[in-house]
Amino acid sequence: MNLSPTELKAIGVAAQWYARLQSGIATDADRAAWNDWLLADDAHRKAWQRMTAVGEQMATVPGALAAPALRGAERSRRQVLRSVLVLTSAGTLGWMGWRSETSQNLFADVRTAVGERREFRLVDGSSLLLNTDTSVNLRFTGRQRVLELLRGEILVTTAADPSQRPFKVVTRHGEVLALGTRFIVRSRDHTGEVAVLEKAVEVSSAGNASKVRLQAGQSIAFNAASLGAIRRNDASTGAWQQGSIIAIDRPLAELLADLSRYRTGVLRCDAHIAHLKVSGAFPIDDTDLALAALESGFSLRISRYSRYWVNVSGGDGR
């Protein structure tokens, strides 16, 4: 698919509008601004049509968002976001000491399987949403509240504590001190990431005394030796809690790596299309549906050698 720079730019903006309108927090002013953008240029309408075509292929576009130019198109819709199971934590387990990573994850206080998301209400009233393949130990004492993120990704919404105990998330790469806030922490093999949604946090790396304070709308990557540069959150930040991956002009290989977190087995693409830029909203509760959208919306070919081995190639099969 050969698109001009103007078309690519319009698709990127359309993806941002799509994410905003899908977020559930869009205002009347947002919708008016979107409509003004849509009607300002034929390229915008074509870009929006591409975006909604991909979205509707995945059955994630609410009818109220259909562009005026697209009225009358009857398309099937499916519900792809399952309800998040809300559980109440029965209490905390004691610190179990060092183990192999596998046994640590297996015996973690709270955890999710591949493709699963679960919400827990903690004993202090805070809430904890676990993304796919995530494990956490809970260490609440009379002096502190600590979540040890062993692997995966969590969304934390802290509650006020009468005893004013500090609330921390600790990873192998460093720690995050909550300052009355709502934030996301992800722990990868070699790096950690933090994104602040409300208020602020303080981030420090495991082997460096320096600290940085992040405000709402900011994020940072870090490892055991250093802290990265502060970045602005974008439309993709935290989209997993609504059951989507939002891609804005993103390399195909990166998108597939993210999708692979929500399914077992191998999901890869041919090297010569790894850098193909993709925009859209892709469901994580039905990764086969997401792959079907990629296949039809971006002229790609999906080869399934088994349920656990999927390869993406160019539309010509090469």
* pLDDT for residue 86: 31
Average pLDDT of the residues of the chain: 80
- 228-252 pLDDT, tens per residue? 999 999 878 888 998 889 898 899 9
Which structural domains are found in the chain, ordered by start?
A: 5-80+243-314 (3.55.50.30), 85-232 (2.60.120.1440)
Q: Which residues contact 288 (CB under 8 A, 6 or more apart)?
A: none
In angstroms, the CA 303 to CA 315 distance is 11
In angstroms, the CA 318 to CA 314 distance is 6
Which residue's entry shows tokens 């977020």?
23
* pLDDT for residue 107: 75
Strands of 141-259 (E only): list them.
145-157, 167-170, 174-187, 192-205, 211-215, 218-222, 231-232, 244-251
| 215 or 28, which is more confident | 215
Decide if pLDDT at 169 tops 80: yes
Say if residues 70 and 51 touch (Cβ distance below 8 Å): no
Following CA atoms 18, 294, 257, 308 in sequence, which dihedral angle do they give, to the nearest 10 degrees? Answer: 140
Residue 35 burial (CB count, 10 A): 13
| 107 or 249, which is more confident | 249
Segment among 98-107, 152-161, 240-249 with least mean pLDDT: 98-107
Residue 307: pLDDT band with limits 50, 70, 90: confident
Following CA atoms 53, 55, 60, 63 in sequence, which dihedral angle do they give, to the nearest 10 degrees? Answer: -40
Predicted TM-score (pTM) of the model is 0.69
* pLDDT for residue 72: 33
Decide if pLDDT at 85 tops 50: no
